[in-house]
Amino acid sequence: MNISVVIPLYNEEESLPELAAWIQSVMEKNGYSYEVIFVNDGSTDRSWQVIEKLASESEHIKGIKFRRNYGKSPALFCGFEKAEGDVVITMDADLQDSPDEIPELYRMITEEGYDLVSGYKQKRYDPLSKTLPTKLFNATARAVSGIKNLHDFNCGLKAYRKEVVKSIEVYGEMHRYIPYLAKNAGFNKIGEKVVQHQARKYGKTKFGLNRFINGYLDLISLWFLSKFGVQPMHIFGFLGSLMFIFGFIAVVIIGFGKLYAMSHGLPYILITDSPYFYLALTTMILGTQLFLAGFLGELIVRNAPERNKYHIEKEI
């Protein structure tokens, strides 16, 4: 099979028939063998009934239904699991992503050898309240991930080699950082294509301020896991040891200061009356706790069932 199109959706009943017909027209025009996987993420409207009707009319359309709304990342993960095409295309169900982009995305994967191609909506029809945070978010994502050539990490229109989607796990709200996940999995040939952005035709946007905030928190988590997820002792142990040493040195200095004052007949105070003693003691305790956190993290990692799972590209 040439192409699998994975479409997560939530309350998009009006757009589904038009989107399915549009995809079918593009696929038949280019002679692709394909499947369309609609992932209904707990919609409260008639989206699932529409998907059932479309699937009964076409052998190319499949559907996955969630019991409730879990989010875009679980929807993509389940769609990726079921995808059988050599190239997997993802797009949103609101008709803002154009299926006419599919042939060029497919060509870039199959002919130019990209592992992943991300769409770039250079000209957007979204309100300023959405476009401005998106620009700030993408600038931060480029700086943290090191993928300098991507301008729109959150674009739903992307193309992947099949090996990519089978090698990464999209969880939580990590769908924004699939290029970063792919890079961490060893897929480094990541490209970008300017795509047409359609104005929303039906329904309303699902974007909210909480997604902007959560996006930064997820980015920090992903950066930390990519750097220290396999060897947590390298960060916790180092910081803990450093804090303990500083605290210990401070205690020694306070103690010697008192002894010096006593031996020279100078006025002095009890060590326990000094606020610096308690600061030093707190630093030592925090350092010990960080060190133990790193040690426990190492035990968890070393006992993980996939601790020695490597991404093998080819075998002979």
In a domain? residue 172: yes
Residues 211 and 237 placed together within one structural domain of the fold? no
Q: Which residue has the tokens 């968890």?
A: 300
Q: Which of 228, 250, 276 is the last residue of a domain?
A: 228
In a domain? residue 315: no
Q: Which residue has the tokens 């957007």?
A: 124
| Token representation of residue 313 | 């590209």
List, for residues 226-277, the tens digit of each pLDDT value. 776 667 787 888 899 999 999 999 989 888 888 888 888 788 778 878 888 8
Helix (H, G, I), strand (E, B) or coil at 194: strand
CA distance 90 to 215: 20
Helix (H, G, I), strand (E, B) or coil at 224: helix
Residues 6+ apart with CB under 8 A from 177: 141, 145, 153, 218, 219, 222
Q: Which of 168, 214, 215, 161 is nearest to 191 (CA)?
A: 161
Per-residue confidence in pLDDT tens, the chain, 316 aa? 899 999 999 999 999 999 999 999 999 999 999 999 999 999 999 999 999 999 999 999 999 999 999 989 999 999 999 999 999 999 999 888 999 999 999 999 999 999 999 999 877 666 656 667 777 878 888 888 888 888 888 888 999 999 999 998 888 778 888 999 899 888 999 999 998 877 666 666 655 556 666 666 777 777 777 776 667 787 888 899 999 999 999 989 888 888 888 888 788 778 878 888 889 999 999 999 999 988 887 777 666 555 545 455 566 6
CA distance 281 to 251: 7
Residues 289 and 153 placed together within one structural domain of the fold? no
Residues 66 and 154 placed together within one structural domain of the fold? yes
Residues 130 and 152 placed together within one structural domain of the fold? yes
Residues 164 and 57 placed together within one structural domain of the fold? yes
Q: Which CATH number fits the domain that encloses residue 11?
A: 3.90.550.10
Residues 165 and 286 placed together within one structural domain of the fold? no
Q: Which of 192, 209, 228 is the last residue of a domain?
A: 228
Residue ranges making up the domain that contains 267? 233-302
Residues 192 and 248 placed together within one structural domain of the fold? no
Q: Which residue has the tokens 């750097």?
A: 227
pTM of the complete model:
0.75
Residues 157 and 259 placed together within one structural domain of the fold? no
Residues 215 and 255 placed together within one structural domain of the fold? no
